[in-house]
Chain A
Amino acid sequence: MPFDLHPRLRTPAATLAGAVLLAGTLAACGSGGPSRAQTLEVWTYQDASTHIQAEAVERFNETSDVQLELVEIPGANYQERMRTAMGTPNAPDIFFNWGSGSISDFVQQDMLVDLTDTLAETEELRDAFVPTVLAAAEVDGGVYGVPMRGVQPVILFYNTELFEQVGAEPPTTWEEMTELIEVFQEEDITPVALGGADAWTSLMWLEYLLDRIGGPEVWQRIETGEAEAWGDPAVEAAAQTALDLIDDGAFGSTFLSNAYTNDGVSTYFAQGRAAMHLMGSWEYGSQLANAEEFARERLGYSTFPVFSDGAGDASAIVGNPNNYWSVNSELEGERLDAALEFLKHTTDDDYLSALVTNGDIPGTAGVDDRLDDHPDPEFARFQYDLITEASAFTQSWDQALPNRAATEMMNAVDDLFSGGLTAQEFADTLRGVS
């Protein structure tokens, strides 16, 4: 035999060969597939709106040489997936994000295409968007995202039946709010539903309280990196007001066990066990899906009450101005052109109609005449007016800040609401967050 190993070595040699092959296979996993050169990978956040992006990609592919491939990323891990993929060969070419804080680290590493000139030169995009909506895609003076979904202001939802029962109107001032809390408690109804197990729901209260007490400027200073602005007396006052709400039983006794993400709080609210619920506009859609009768007949909506001695006014809103498409700066030539071409289609008739029909209010000006296509035109008009007439639109704090600062802030919020920090300690802790 030409190749005759000693029997003693035969098996180990085969094993070694196998191991080497295996290692080779593992190493091969690192490099991308062969098709990456011709197609662009588009990442979107997977939820009930994903089909709109899928249709847009399909329409684009019909006429383009460069093909797009939509990848739907499960929502809960989107941030982590996006962050860990960027800067690797597996990074998306065009991707969904929340603007500012969620992309500011990428901008610092020059990983995104600056879209400022594209927006200024492209007729379809130039004046299309509401300025406050586009503002959240700005980082260091450049625009890095194009709005691609609905505007999601945080709204004070309430149960109209329970309000009728106690003969009350939705509160417009903080005095009315505190009175209502007492009234509902006497009726053995939880005044406000809160999913405190998800700290971002607690955060919504602080966002509005700070806006109403100190005006939107306080947050604007914090957002632009002025950590000392956390020392503004309005921050401590807002935190103290939140603690007072907890002490007064506004959120009930089990709010720290309640979660929003498993629909627990929304169901509790829909069952008439709580009178009010401060939540993003998407709450309407999820109530419509889970408790249609409640959504159609008893779900009221209102603006957040104002403080008589506060600096903020009733028309200022907080929430998510939009979601955005950003483009990876690795793209060049034909591929980059195709990506920019795709962004223009976010203001197409088809795309905007699909958004409105889905229950979203696009971040574009002049969609009034489309609002009748919304599943609930009255709610659509309420939101549209809220957005277009907003004196200020504060972006959700956790999305406005870079990841590291946002995580520290969320821990402080969680500690505040669970009794681990006083209002003053809360403000002091956050002063260290840069």
Chain B
Amino acid sequence: MSAPPPIPASARRAESPHPSSPAPVAGRRRARDTGRPGVLWAVPGLLFFGLFAAAPMVLVAWLSFTSWDGLSAPAWSGTENWSRLWSDPAMHRALRLSLLLTLLSWAFQTPVALLLGVWSAGHQRSRAVLSAVFFLPLLASSVALALVWRSILDPNFGLAADVARWLELGDANVLGSQRGALLAVAFVAAWQFIPFHALLYQGGARQIPRSLYDAASIDGAGTVRQFFAVTLPQLRNTAVTSSVLMVVGSLTYFETVLILTGGGPGSATTIVPYLMYETGFRAFDLGYASAVATSLVVVATGVSLLMVRLTGFGRMRSTREGM
């Protein structure tokens, strides 16, 4: 038997009714063609990131070493802003409040979002309908939500005033008390973002193979035991993703504070992003505000890297290894 004469690849491709026919020569050629996208594909993304994220960040880092009122040219002031930042009681308080808010948010949002997400992972129709309802707060703008909650918490005309009267709690001075205002901010944040995290957990829970539950129930595990022995360990990576987003989100939380409390009463809710805004766009001390902003970038990046490292998320180990 004699082999047919070799046909040029391009000609063969033109003849072939299925471009993806597994001819050996064409196959090699294709892999080189479309396998991995070229660097140029990243240009639009890089351009956007460079223009709107990296460049401003570099600019702000540079501004943090200057004294600038926004009108005249920035004047180099060395590390003055940074040494001021180090010893500024307002910054210390803001940092403490930011960390407290982050902790509160994480501790409150995670269990609620986890339970809601796992519950809504079931395919029952009622659960699907309710999940859609739970998802609604995420669709509204933060500003609108903050305005609504501010009205609800109004001590004279809000729903809070009526509730306080029914429960005989006295005055509904929520936004006027130091602790109440911070809790209110944490609560509104939770109300707004739990749906998003529940969605993450829902997706995670739906990925868990049925067979694990079948095996568990054969071993005699009930619903609760299944949750702790199967669901929770399987959601490990989802929990890390959700937590990192929550922590970074809480550290950079801003609009709700601006509208709900204005950083008050006094400075009870002046968290770092609000302090940055106030220093930059009320006092127009843009050099110092840039130092606050840069430190926020550093802290938020550091915390998220630390979380990824500590949880072993970075090793990209699957929760389903060996299955």
Mark A residues whose CB is within 8 Å of B: 7-9, 12-13, 15-16, 18-19, 22-23, 26, 79-80, 83-84, 86-87, 105-106, 109, 111, 196-199, 253-259, 262, 264, 267-268, 273, 403-404, 406-408, 411, 414-415, 417-420
Mark B residues whose CB is within 8 Å of A: 33, 38, 40-41, 43-44, 47, 51, 69-72, 90, 150-151, 153-157, 170-178, 261-262, 264-268, 278-279, 281-285
18 additional A-B pairs beyond A197-B265, A414-B264, beta carbons within 8 Å, are A9-B40, A12-B43, A16-B40, A19-B44, A83-B281, A197-B261, A197-B264, A254-B172, A258-B155, A259-B150, A262-B150, A264-B156, A264-B157, A403-B282, A404-B285, A411-B278, A414-B266, A420-B267
B175 close to A257 (CB less than 8 A): yes
Which of B150, B174, B176, B266 makes the CB contact (< 8 A) with A415?
A: B266
Tell me the smallest distance from the CB of A244 to a CB of chain B, in Å. Answer: 18
Closest B residue to A198 using CB positions: B262
B47 close to A23 (CB less than 8 A): yes
In the docked arrangement, what's the CA distance between A83 and B262, Å?
20
A83 close to B265 (CB less than 8 A): no
Contacts A/B (CB < 8 Å), 12 sampled? A15-B43, A83-B284, A84-B281, A87-B72, A254-B155, A254-B173, A257-B174, A403-B282, A404-B285, A407-B283, A414-B265, A414-B266
Closest B residue to A261 using CB positions: B262
In the docked arrangement, what's the CA distance between A404 and B69, Å?
9
Closest B residue to A420 using CB positions: B266
Contacts of A407 in B (CB 8 A): 278-279, 282-283
- The answer to whether residues A26 and B51 also contact, given A254-B172, A414-B267 and a CB cut-off of 8 A, is yes
B175 close to A256 (CB less than 8 A): yes
In the docked arrangement, what's the CA distance between A26 and B47, Å?
12
In the docked arrangement, what's the CA distance between A403 and B38, Å?
51
A256 close to B47 (CB less than 8 A): no
Tell me the smallest distance from the CB of A24 to a CB of chain B, in Å. Answer: 12
Interface of chain B: mostly helix, strand, loop or mixed: loop
B173 close to A257 (CB less than 8 A): yes
B72 close to A403 (CB less than 8 A): no
- The answer to whether residues A86 and B266 also contact, given A254-B176, A404-B283 and a CB cut-off of 8 A, is no
- The answer to whether residues A86 and B44 also contact, given A257-B176, A262-B151, A268-B156 and a CB cut-off of 8 A, is no
A256 close to B176 (CB less than 8 A): yes
Tell me the smallest distance from the CB of B77 to a CB of chain A, in Å. Answer: 15
Contacts of A419 in B (CB 8 A): 266
Contacts of A80 in B (CB 8 A): 281-282
- The answer to whether residues A197 and B282 also contact, given A84-B70, A253-B171 and a CB cut-off of 8 A, is no
Contacts of B284 in A (CB 8 A): 83, 105, 403-404
In the docked arrangement, what's the CA distance between A407 and B270, Å?
13
In the docked arrangement, what's the CA distance between A67 and B310, Å?
65
- The answer to whether residues A411 and B155 also contact, given A19-B43, A80-B281, A86-B71 and a CB cut-off of 8 A, is no
In the docked arrangement, what's the CA distance between A326 and B70, Å?
19
3 residue pairs, one from A and one from B, having the closest CB atoms: A256-B176, A12-B40, A418-B266
Q: How many A-B residue pairs have CB under 8 A?
A: 128
Which of A19, A106, A267 makes the CB contact (< 8 A) with B71?
A: A106
Contacts of B281 in A (CB 8 A): 80, 83-84
Closest A residue to B161 using CB positions: A254
Closest B residue to A408 using CB positions: B283
In the docked arrangement, what's the CA distance between A417 and B90, Å?
17
In the docked arrangement, what's the CA distance between A267 and B155, Å?
12
In the docked arrangement, what's the CA distance between A80 and B150, Å?
23
B264 close to A199 (CB less than 8 A): yes
- The answer to whether residues A255 and B176 also contact, given A26-B51, A267-B157 and a CB cut-off of 8 A, is yes
B268 close to A418 (CB less than 8 A): yes
Which of A8, A16, A262 makes the CB contact (< 8 A) with B33?
A: A8
A258 close to B156 (CB less than 8 A): yes
The residue among B44, B153, B154 with the most chain A CB atoms within 10 A of its own CB is B154
B71 close to A109 (CB less than 8 A): yes
Closest B residue to A13 using CB positions: B40
The residue among B171, B265, B284 with the most chain A CB atoms within 10 A of its own CB is B265
In the docked arrangement, what's the CA distance between A71 and B95, Å?
39
B156 close to A415 (CB less than 8 A): no
Contacts of A19 in B (CB 8 A): 43-44, 47
The residue among A23, A197, A414 with the most chain B CB atoms within 10 A of its own CB is A197
In the docked arrangement, what's the CA distance between A420 and B157, Å?
27
In the docked arrangement, what's the CA distance between A267 and B285, Å?
37
A257 close to B70 (CB less than 8 A): no
In the docked arrangement, what's the CA distance between A18 and B157, Å?
54
A264 close to B154 (CB less than 8 A): yes
A273 close to B156 (CB less than 8 A): yes
Closest B residue to A18 using CB positions: B44
- The answer to whether residues A418 and B71 also contact, given A197-B265, A257-B172 and a CB cut-off of 8 A, is no
The residue among A13, A79, A254, A262 with the most chain B CB atoms within 10 A of its own CB is A254
Closest B residue to A264 using CB positions: B154
B71 close to A111 (CB less than 8 A): yes
- The answer to whether residues A257 and B155 also contact, given A12-B41, A16-B43, A84-B70 and a CB cut-off of 8 A, is yes
Contacts of B285 in A (CB 8 A): 404
- The answer to whether residues A15 and B40 also contact, given A105-B69, A257-B153 and a CB cut-off of 8 A, is yes
Tell me the smallest distance from the CB of B51 to a CB of chain A, in Å. Answer: 7
B150 close to A418 (CB less than 8 A): no
Tell me the smallest distance from the CB of B282 to a CB of chain A, in Å. Answer: 4
Contacts of B155 in A (CB 8 A): 254, 257-258
In the docked arrangement, what's the CA distance between A415 and B269, Å?
12
Contacts of B150 in A (CB 8 A): 259, 262
Contacts of A13 in B (CB 8 A): 40
Contacts of A198 in B (CB 8 A): 262
